[in-house]
Amino acid sequence: MWVPLIYRTRFSRVIAVVCAAVATLTPITLALAALPGALDSISLVLPAAIVWVLFFDPAVIIDEHRVTLIGVVRTVRIPLSRIRLARVRYSFEVVTDADEVFEAWALPRGARMRESIADEAASEVNERIAIAEPSSAPLTRSWNVRSILIVASALAVAAVSLQL
């Protein structure tokens, strides 16, 4: 049994954490200083949620049976037996046996000449498909409901905070 490998870029997580910290500390600081606008600053939850959905949540997960591409609004689960090739062009891509190409928002191509995390993920997938057992498991696509709910909730909180 293999441990699932989760690939995300480090810098995207740093962006998301910094944005979340600003969105959390701004209303607290304004409230403690008794400055006006403390309630209005709660609306910072919306951009923080959007940054989280765009930068922190997307990932590529590789386990012993499939590759899961978690995107901004869509999640694709591809059985290893259905993958023909994993490669890196502008971002990490998976090509299926039906010549469908799925790109991963989470792993863009590195800007430098050295190997990026996307190249590492592509190598790992190609190694695993070489030894994958045949399977009739279907390729599945689904909405990334968690991300949609997070943005919708943040939008509601921002709307309410601006009305107060």
pLDDT in tens, 88-132: 998 999 999 999 999 998 998 877 767 889 999 999 999 999 988
The residue segments making up the domain with residue 68 are 5-163
Question: How many domains, in total, are found in the chain?
Answer: 1
Cβ–Cβ < 8 Å for 95, 84: yes
Token pair recorded at residue 20 = 């979340």
Render pLDDT for 10-58 as a digit per residue (tens, 0 to 9).
Answer: 888 899 999 989 888 888 887 888 777 667 777 788 888 999 999 999 9
Q: Is the dihedral of CA 108, 109, 110, 112 positive or negative?
A: negative
Q: How many CA atoms lie within 13 A of 141 on its CB side?
A: 7
Please name the helix (run of DSSP H) or strand (run of DSSP E) that holds residue 38, with its range, or none. none
Q: In the predicted model, what is the mean pLDDT of the chain? A: 89
- Closest by CA position to 69, among listed 110, 118, 26, 116: 118
**What global pTM score does this model have?**
0.86
CB–CB of 107/121 below 8 Å? Answer: yes
What would the pLDDT profile of 44-53 be if each residue is shown by its tens digit? Answer: 888 889 999 9
Q: Residue 4 burial (CB < 10 Å; 0-12/13-18/19+)? A: exposed
Q: Which alpha helices (DSSP H) does the chain contain, by range? A: 10-32, 45-51, 117-130, 145-163
